[in-house]
Amino acid sequence: MDEVLKKLDSAGIGKIEKNVSLSKCTTYRVGGKCLCMVFPKNVQALRKTLSILKDGNVKYKVIGNGSNLLFSSKVYDGVIIRLDELNEVEFLTPTKIRVEAGYSLVKLSMLAAKKGLAGLEFASGIPGTVGGAVYMNAGAYKSDMGYIVQDVTVLTPDLRIVKLENKEMDFHYRTSFLQKHPGYICLEAVIRLEKGDKSAIEEVIRDRRKRRMESQPLEYPSAGSVFRNPEGMSAWKLIDDAGLKGYSIGGAKVSEKHANFIINYDHATGEDVKNLIEYVRSTVKEKFDIELKVEQEFVNWE
């Protein structure tokens, strides 16, 4: 590992930080430390980073804003790669945007609204990056990335750059090709929107922000909805009906405001959050014979 870190240091790939607390990099605000965090300055630097890590047989994880990740409290004995520097955005046409993976999804939705472009209103409250949103097929209000992505440029496991069309991305409810092929990395996406009424778009965004403030525990660290909605049902209602609102383990609690949110209300650990997730799943299964699927990704629990 030391030899690999020396190679990374001398490769001119961008900012490198050592012994970083992962609690600063996730919206749950939990997690142990990672030995090394790399911020590649461009796609070429990312390829160089991955080449060094693969040659050295060092494990790595590519993350965005950490808005859908749950890290354990253990040290991550590998390299975390953040794509913050891949943040270019350009208009290819008046309604078509090329945007790199590290760009903020909320920022993109605001940019679209200012230009009077409709289609991204659903994303105005999703605190992830474009890359993370494509990976998860993030969505809300009966829309998701699959409706607006034209194509995605990815880095393959053998470090080739290829373009995948919308159909090839296999977008479905909270999933995509990238989840089923974890060696692939989203580099950028082309988003296709429609001309709309600027004031009407901004009004939708304002109204939804107000509704989120009223219905979601945004004053606490969380990762948004914990469970996917079973077909024809709401996960929050199942959890509420199971009597779990307000239930806590350690510093983690099922929100009393929205039962499908688990909040870090009192210095929770990753273990507190994970144990509470598993308790909610097992309780709902026991009471209603319904298996809730977790939206979040567990990292460094093996």
* Shared domain check, 45 and 125: no
272 in helix, strand or coil?
helix
Quick check: is 272 in a domain?
Answer: yes
Report CA dihedral (166, 170, 176, 180) to the nearest 10 degrees: -130
Domain final position from 48, 82, 116: 82
194 in any annotated domain: yes
- Same domain flag for 190 and 253: no
Percent of the chain with pLDDT over 70: 100
Residue 173 in domain:
yes
209 falls within a domain: no
Give me the pLDDT at residue 77, please.
94
Same domain, 66 and 93: no
pLDDT of 5 strictly over 90: no
Beta strands in 64-202 (DSSP E): 69-71, 76-82, 89-93, 96-100, 117-118, 139-140, 143-144, 149-155, 161-165, 185-192, 194-195
pLDDT tens digits, one per residue of 95-121: 999 999 999 999 999 999 999 999 999
**Cβ distance 239 to 259 under 8 Å?**
yes
Average confidence (pLDDT) over 10-29: 96
Which pLDDT does position 171 carry in this prediction? Answer: 97
Point out which residues pair with 189 in neighbouring strands.
99, 152
How would you class 89 by CB atoms within 10 Å of its CB: exposed for 0-12, middle for 13-18, buried for 19 or more? middle
Same domain flag for 105 and 22: no
Helix 198-215 to helix 105-114 angle (10° resolution) is 150
Residue 18 sits in a domain of what CATH number? 3.30.43.10
Count up the domains in the chain and report the number: 3
Which residues have a catalytic role annotated?
A: 174, 225, 295
Domain span holding position 124: 89-201
CB environment 239-254: b (16+ within 10 A), e (fewer): bbebebbebbbebbbb
**Which pLDDT score, from 0 to 100, does residue 1 have?**
83
Q: Is the pLDDT of residue 182 over 90?
A: no
283, pLDDT greater than 90: yes
Per-residue pLDDT, 83: 97
Radius of gyration of the chain (CA): 20
Question: Nearest-CA neighbor of 28 among 290, 270, 259?
Answer: 270
Residues 94, 77 share a domain: no
